[in-house]
Amino acid sequence: MLVATALTATSIAISVQVLTELGKMQTKEARLILGAAIVDDILAIAILSVVTTMVQTGDTTPEIMEIVILILQILGLFAALLIGSILLIPKLLHVQRIWKSRGSIEGIVTASFFGAAGIAAFVGLSPIVGAFAVGMAVASTRLINQVDEYAKKLLIIFGPLFFAIIGAQVDLRGVNFNVLYLSGIVVAIAVTTKVVGCGLPSIIFLRDKTKAFRVGIGMISRVEVGLIVAGVGVSTGVLSSDTYTTVIFMVALTTIITPIWLKKSYMKDKNLTPQPGSSSL
């Protein structure tokens, strides 16, 4: 269940970067990738909360109705957090006297993220549910660029820490044939499910096999939720060292595969016009 959960959520940050560099962010397939990723994240958060609850309670064989009720509760709580954030956060950030003081916006946003994460954890959801809801609320404000720059600075500190903690729990000395064999299977599933699962339905909307195929490629990468699930699994003792290492390999390989494959797909387009000053992969 944990490995399957790690395979659900898509991290499209890399895909967006590639599409931006190639000047393709305004294409239909790029907009479809972004829209699908939002729904994908919400569903993945719901699944993550269900599986986390199962791990914490030790109930590995719940009834189907229990799972349905739990998912509805999670989506309901998420909707409440989202609506509350959308109603309150923009009003709070748009108070003129607050953002005259240097750093006040950043402080309010930080408090909002951590506060919402705490509320989500208190009601039994994954903390990232609350943070995600506030993030969507902030995205609707005119201060999004300022907050985005602030978040990038925070990422310089917390990004390496996050990956260092995850990496420190991977013992490469324990890599053996079984780990490599299982990793190959999981990576194959990770790639196939996104290319086929997202690519085929996209043909209905795009009416173009090449563009639909690019949607599938753009949805392959897994990073944040995959690593979070791996961390939950190893910290609770549910995932063995071999399985944990397999999930980390899957995250790393899908992150490498996505930009290379997506760029090659666009390189076949004769009308490709990269943005001036864009970096090469």
Q: Half-sphere exposure (CA, 13 Å, Cβ side) for 139?
A: 8
Residue with tokens 């009834």: 63
Specify the CATH number for the domain of residue 146.
1.20.1530.20
> Which pLDDT does position 176 carry in this prediction?
84
Q: Could you tell me if residue 273 is inside a domain?
A: no
- Structural domain span for residue 162: 2-267
Closest CA to 232 of 165, 187, 186: 165
Q: Could you tell me if residue 276 is inside a domain?
A: no
Q: Could you tell me if residue 11 is inside a domain?
A: yes
> How many domains is the chain partitioned into structurally?
1
Q: pLDDT of 37-58, one tens digit each?
A: 777 777 777 787 777 777 777 7
Q: Could you tell me if residue 187 is inside a domain?
A: yes
Q: Could you tell me if residue 278 is inside a domain?
A: no
Whether 127 and 225 have beta carbons less than 8 Å apart is answered as: no
How many angstroms separate the CA atoms of 112 and 109, rounded? Answer: 5
Q: Could you tell me if residue 161 is inside a domain?
A: yes
How many angstroms separate the CA atoms of 182 and 245, rounded? Answer: 10
Q: pLDDT of 92-151, one tens digit each?
A: 777 666 666 677 788 888 888 898 888 877 876 667 778 878 888 888 777 778 888 888
Query: Could you state, in chain order, the average pLDDT of each consecutive group of 10 residues for the chain (281 residues)?
Result: 83 76 83 80 75 72 76 80 83 68 80 87 73 82 81 81 70 80 92 91 88 90 78 78 86 86 80 48 44
Q: Could you tell me if residue 8 is inside a domain?
A: yes
Give helix then strand counts, H and E, for the chain: 11, 0
Q: Could you tell me if residue 175 is inside a domain?
A: yes
> Which pLDDT does position 196 carry in this prediction?
92
